Amino acid sequence: MNQQGPVVAIVGATGAVGTTMIEIIDARPSVPWGEIRLVASPRSAGKVLRVRGQDTTVQALAPEVFDGVDVALFDVPDEVSAEWAPIAVARGAVAVDNSGAFRMDPEVPLVVPEVNAADATNRPKGIIANPNCTTLSMMAAMGALHREFELRELVVASYQAASGAGQPGIDRLYAELAALAGKQVGNRSGDVAEALREAGLGSDSPFPAPLALNVVPWAGSLKDDGWSSEELKVRNESRKILGIPDLKVSATCVRVPVVTTHALAVHATFGQDVSVDAARKVLAAQPTIMLRDDPAAGEWPTPAAVVGEDPTWVGRIRQALDFPNTLELFVCGDNLRKGAALNTYEIAETVAASL
């Protein structure tokens, strides 16, 4: 800690999540930090970014960048976090990691402050993990409803934004949209892919199929029995965050041509009686949730309305017609804010307050 306050390092400051982290820090009326250090790959070393009105030079990741750092925020690929978060801890920092490297490690808490903030204090490895953005988008709502009605089962379909695949995902979607703008691409199988090829967009995409004018039922890597890694994360991380080891969860993760903000259709079954009115009351009382639920007035959450917002928006709340104690909800959360940078930053401020 320096004389002005704790020192924070943002590792991956130039990426989609790191850039959002800087926006969040800039927008806060006050921050606890005495110094904000920016770190990325050697490709970005020397780049100057503005943080809280100050030009700040990006440093290349190296052990010395963690000297004097109290909290190190990792917004980098899994393998970079896996290698470097322990190095930051060895140099005296608490690491808060946004990647998937440590989330299911039993010695690493997986934290959503409004659900399980207390878990952050028990961190034997000096590392706190931030959940996957798809899981995170529904956790504030599920945590609040679970406290009241005892969650038993979750069936989820996600509609995930391109920026969930980082800056390369954003760049690819914009490139595809630009290539197809104003074109009549035809209605035959393969016409969209052909139009993209003609426009010079090759197969070096972060997505396994065209995303513009399409939906792609895939996110992550292939796991056993046809599941995607993203779908298993939703299951495993929900159980860990909510502290319900036997929670029944089944997810289908789908990528849609939205730049930022994930949406989820959630079918949630509870152990206690639950009504739409009671659920609305519980959700309305949660400060990090915005209830937008008036279909008669055309009011529901959409990614285009939610992007850039901190709260998770919840709407379309219905009592399932054929399933007892079950609600259907539609949830939207900005995957770069609450789904990543904001939640990480909230954890970091909690850690700073305890130093």
Give me the residues that bind ligand NAP (CB under 6 A), please.
12-18, 40-41, 43-44, 61, 75-78, 80, 98-99, 133, 163-164, 166-168, 335-336, 339-340
Contact 210, 169 (CB under 8 A): no
By CB atoms closer than 10 A (0-12, 13-18, 19+), residue 245 is: exposed
Q: Which residue's CB is nearer to ligand NAP, number 213 or number 259?
A: 259
CB of 254 to ligand NAP, least distance (A): 15
CB of 199 to ligand NAP, least distance (A): 24
Helix/strand/coil for 173: helix
CB of 1 to ligand NAP, least distance (A): 24
Gap between the Cα atoms of 172 and 199, Å rounded: 13
Question: Is residue 146 annotated as a catalytic residue, yes or no?
Answer: no
3-state secondary structure 98-150: CCCCCCCCCCCCECCHHHHHHHHHCCCCCEEECCCHHHHHHHHHHHHHHHHHC
Phi and psi dihedrals of 177, rounded to 5?
-65, -40
CB of 90 to ligand NAP, least distance (A): 17
Q: Which residue's CB is nearer to ligand NAP, number 86 or number 168?
A: 168
CB of 101 to ligand NAP, least distance (A): 8
Pair of tokens at residue 247: 């929670």
Q: Which residue's CB is nearer to ligand NAP, number 83 or number 294?
A: 83
> 28: which DSSP letter?
S
Contact 155, 253 (CB under 8 A): no
Gap between the Cα atoms of 255 and 263, Å rounded: 10
Contact 33, 352 (CB under 8 A): yes
Pair of tokens at residue 104: 């299911």
Q: Which residue's CB is nearer to ligand NAP, number 80 or number 87?
A: 80
CB of 229 to ligand NAP, least distance (A): 11
Catalytic residue among 146, 253, 262, 332: 262
Question: Is residue 133 annotated as a catalytic residue, yes or no?
Answer: yes
> 183: which DSSP letter?
-
Position of minimal CB gap to ligand NAP: 15
Phi and psi dihedrals of 45, rounded to 5?
-60, 135
Catalytic residue among 133, 146, 253, 332: 133
Q: Which residue's CB is nearer to ligand NAP, number 12 or number 311?
A: 12
Contact 183, 193 (CB under 8 A): no
Pair of tokens at residue 239: 């159980």
CB of 137 to ligand NAP, least distance (A): 10
Q: Which residue's CB is nearer to ligand NAP, number 37 or number 180?
A: 37
Q: Which of 48, 56, 241 is nearest to 137 (CA)?
A: 241
Q: Which residue's CB is nearer to ligand NAP, number 210 or number 339?
A: 339
> Which residues are the active-site residues?
133, 262
